[in-house]
Amino acid sequence: MSINIAEFNPEQLANEYSKQSPAAIIKLALDKFENIAISFSGAEDVVLIDIATKIKPDVNVFSLDTGRLHAETYRFIEQVREHYGLEIDVLSPDAEAVQNLVRTKGLYSFYKDGHKECCSIRKVVPLRRKLMALDAWITGQRKDQSPDTRNAVPVVEKDAAFSTADKNLYKFNPLSNWTSAQVWEYIRSNDVPFNALHEQGFSSIGCEPCTRAVLPNQHEREGRWWWEEATQKECGLHVGNLKK
């Protein structure tokens, strides 16, 4: 069943579902939208697929192949495809844009210039193209992934990044209130397949050159873009002392 999107009220539903289980939030998403897909990164967000396929066995799933993922991640995406009998739409970056980047800046420009240029070409452009064709998407984003940026991850929201003046896009974050420990408890209890990199100390998994294993009790963010300094993340306006 799909709804009249004009009547969809994400703020109201975010309040209503803020304490609900991921399964309830995924069911809401799949009940409300037909043109919806799960974004699967090849990591522990596999729990979204495990839960969703119990509700809708042929749920739409897509994955962003940046061309720089670990071999373990490619193998895991295949394992998930076979395990759940799903079609996974694996999205590739624009070849010409990647060639231009590599030709002008080399294969490892992100170590010098920061990761955003490469990520925008290999990840965000294909993602944006995919999302333009959807009404809603489901992500594995959690509040505990980055204490500084994830303070507010509503379980459902209007997607401010990818909505346009002509079309609203809605985003469901069913794992928002789960901790990493809860995700892993679910994976173990339900015999969910997982990426072999997790057994090697990788907590957050992205592209191979930009991801490293972390030590016990290190925050997962420390395994990503560790060479970048805080000064490169400077867009925030520090108005804390101005707030009412």
Partner 1 sequence: MRITFVKKIKADGSPCRKCAEVQARLEKDGYIDEIARTVIADERDTDSEGMQLAKQFDVDRAPFFIVENEGQEPGIYTVYFKLVNEVLRGKTNEQDAAKDIMDANPDLDFL
In angstroms, the CA 24 to CA 174 distance is 8
Q: How far is the CB of 161 from partner 1 (least distance, A)?
A: 5
Active site residue 210: no
Please identify which residue in the block is written with the tokens 């992500």. Answer: 139
Site for partner 1 in 62-121 (CB under 8 A): 64, 97, 115-117, 119-121
Site for partner 1 in 116-135 (CB under 8 A): 116-117, 119-121, 123-125, 127-128
By CB under 8 A, is residue 239 in contact with partner 1? yes
What size, in residues, is the chain? Answer: 244
H or E element that contains 12: helix 10-17
By CB under 8 A, is residue 60 in contact with partner 1? no
* One-character DSSP codes across 32-97: H-SSEEEE--SSTTHHHHHHHHHH-TT--EEEE--S-B-HHHHHHHHHHHHHHT--EEEE---HHH
Q: How far is the CB of 212 from partner 1 (least distance, A)?
A: 15
Catalytic residue numbers read 235
Residues that bind partner 1 (CB under 8 A): 39, 41, 64, 97, 115-117, 119-121, 123-125, 127-128, 139, 141, 145-146, 149-150, 153, 160-162, 164-165, 204, 206, 224-225, 233-239, 241-243
